[in-house]
A and B are shown apart, each in its own frame.
Chain A
Amino acid sequence: MSAELFVTQSQVTPILVQNLTRRFGAFTAVDDVSFSVQAGEVFGWLGPNGAGKTTTIRMLLGLIKPSSGSAFVSGFNSATQTKLVHAHVGYMSQQFTLYNDLTAMQNIRFYGGVHGLSSDELRQRISEIIQMAGLVGRENTLTGSLSGGWKQRLALGCAIVHHPKVVFLDEPTAGVDPISRRQFWELIYQMAKDGVTVLVTTHYMDEAELCQRVGFISAGRLVALDSVSQLKLTQMRGQVLEINVSDPEKAVRILKAAQQSHQVPLDEVALYGAQIHAVVPDAQEYNDAIQRLLTQDNIRVNSIEWIAPTLEDVFISSVKARVDAN
């Protein structure tokens, strides 16, 4: 890419990461990662602990410098224009960083003050955020006595008090129940519709399914980057079988023994409630083999069905592929 084109692109792309690398001594935490996120996009940044997820976000926020490569947010170079980056981004972490002994409204006012909002702007933003977070009637409640869902929405409100065009959400829903999580995702998409770009990390793959596009990072390398539906088609090694039998506990012992003796090439086999899930290279080819194996041990096989992989299946498969490649 020519230098000129690169500059133009960085100015219009809300998040642009180019060959980003960060080494700590001999350890490479982020290894030649490139991706970009478009305006109004909800992008999931996923990976196991220690894969380089947070290090990437820290470089985007200018909190640590890259060893090589570059990161741009709203057209500003994160390493050299850190203050400008901070003025244009919102950041919310898992810990929420709210003051528990301030009321909901005082928290918003505090964060508005930090970002230098005028008193007129602040008045308007307080009422907008109270509305958005569903905190009407609870403006003067101490933050410490709000439940998880309320706190989470208030924390988001405080993170976007200065109308940032790019928002980073680092595991924003850890420990929050499904109903509050749905409400929170509704807020995310309201922001996206107003043109805000959202990068979100989560350990919950059912939630990652809500992102328009996701990137998987594993051992510092970007291993997959696509929409959820495409990833399910391209990144899953093997196919998932759901096995319904009379005695699942016994059946899983038999299948594990077959896995260990390489009698059937099972990538994974585990109890899944009353069923068993197994990953095989080819669903049709190994269906009969599994059926025979179980039947000869007097297990009644009610059904073996080839099911679509979940994003979690795909994620684990991608991470394993990366580990095997090393």
Chain B
Amino acid sequence: MNQFAISATNLVKEFKANKHVVTAINGLSLQVAPGETYGLIGPDGAGKTTTTRVILGLLSRTSGESSVLGFDSMNDMYEIRKRVGYIAQQFSLPPTLTVMENMLFFAGIHSVSSEQQKKRIPELLAFAGLSEFMNRLAGKLSGGMKKKLALACSLIHEPQVVMLDEPTLGVDPVSRREFWNLLGNLRAERGLTIFVCTPYMDEAERCTRVGLMYEGKLIVDDSPANIKRIIPGHVLEFMPSDFAAARKLCNEMDGVLEVQTYGDKLHVFVGDVAKRKPQIEAALASQGITHDNLREIEVRMEEAFISLIRRQKESVEQDGMLTQKSEMSGEI
């Protein structure tokens, strides 16, 4: 037995497709302590959903180990199911059942006694702000309310761990914040362990720890604050009159670590702001490129994410292992 809520060690998952072998998880190790809110982030196709499903025991693993609350994913999956709530990506609740009927349905699946149901269902509906909508058909709920109902259903058997796969996809900002506030309440009041896959960096900032997955591997595993500190240098932002020329110029300048685009602005990573800022300004002026105020901005998770993925990709290419998976091949 280990003390971790979720644990994976050298986890590998291969799929066979038309005689090819696709490695979706390639030696992944992670540990989530009880009470943590862990965010698994990464580009499309990195293996986030597969990892979640293997850990839950919904898919078999090829090699390595994985467990939840000390129960092995493959051998003790029923024990895991009793203790874990799960919202699958693009889940759907039975639309022709009412909110209450959905709750009863999930209570039945998890064999929650009728006595317990009488106590927990009203509590969960109040928690999710759905008490007034008890008799509404699930199909008639707004997108945000559906997500909250799914969360309430996943909590019916009082799990110690919830695993949520992109739970806020397509939800508006107000509902999204309400959803994350509910997760915060679960963490503060019940010490629930939360594992969430998300492609959105502002959600990653709400986690206590974040794992960045790329091509089946975890390339960074740390708190959001530390991940932002890993990125070398400072970021200067400005809007140039000639975007393409300014980008090319900055890319070729000494002391520039990286250039990212941000809409009609450029983000230029430099080591020494005091030294490089006047150099960049002079270089732009010499080419007749005008710009707004060149300012230093704070690095957010998004800048860190793009920078880390890009460096990982470059190191893979330098190793001569250029993969076909070249979604990131364009200039970012």
Using a CB–CB cutoff of 8 Å, the interface residues on chain A facing chain B are 42, 47-50, 94, 134, 147-150, 171, 174-180, 182-183, 185-186, 188-189, 192-193, 203-206, 210-212, 248-250, 252-253, 256, 270-274, 310, 312, 315-316, 319
Contacts and interface: CB of A to CB of B under 8 A. Distances in A.
Nearest to A319: B174
A319 B177 CA distance: 13
A319 B178 CA distance: 13
A252 B175 contact: no
Interface in B180-194: 180-181, 184, 187-189, 191
Contact of A179 (B205, B207, B306): B306
B43 A252 contact: no
A256 B330 CA distance: 47
B261 interface: yes
A253 B330 CA distance: 46
Contact of A189 (B175, B263, B332): B263
Contacts of A203: 170-173, 176
Interface stretch (B104-112, B151-159, B196-204): B196-204
A48 B173 contact: yes
B329 A148 contact: no
27 contacts: A48-B173, A49-B142, A49-B144, A49-B175, A171-B170, A176-B44, A176-B199, A177-B44, A178-B43, A178-B306, A179-B306, A179-B327, A180-B327, A182-B261, A188-B263, A189-B263, A203-B171, A204-B200, A206-B201, A210-B263, A248-B188, A252-B188, A253-B189, A270-B181, A272-B205, A273-B37, A273-B205
Given A179-B328, A206-B201, A274-B224, 8 more contacts: A175-B199, A176-B199, A270-B181, A271-B187, A271-B206, A312-B173, A312-B202, A316-B174
B22 interface: no
B42 interface: yes
B177 A312 contact: yes
Nearest to A212: B264
Contacts of B224: 273-274
Given A177-B43, A180-B327, A271-B206, A210 B262 contact: yes
Nearest to B144: A49
A206 B224 CA distance: 17
Contacts of B206: 271-273
A256 B184 CA distance: 12
B23 interface: no
Contacts of B330: 134, 183
B263 A271 contact: no
Interface in B313-332: 327-330, 332
Interface in B254-285: 260-264
A179 B189 CA distance: 36
Contact of A147 (B44, B172, B300): B44
B187 A273 contact: no
Contact of A180 (B44, B187, B188): B44
Nearest to A206: B202
A248 B35 CA distance: 12
Contacts of A49: 142-144, 171-172, 175
Contacts of B208: 273-274
A179 B332 contact: yes
A57 to B, nearest CB: 15
Contact of B264 (A177, A182, A192, A316): A192
A192 B243 CA distance: 12
B306 A174 contact: no
Contacts of A149: 44, 327
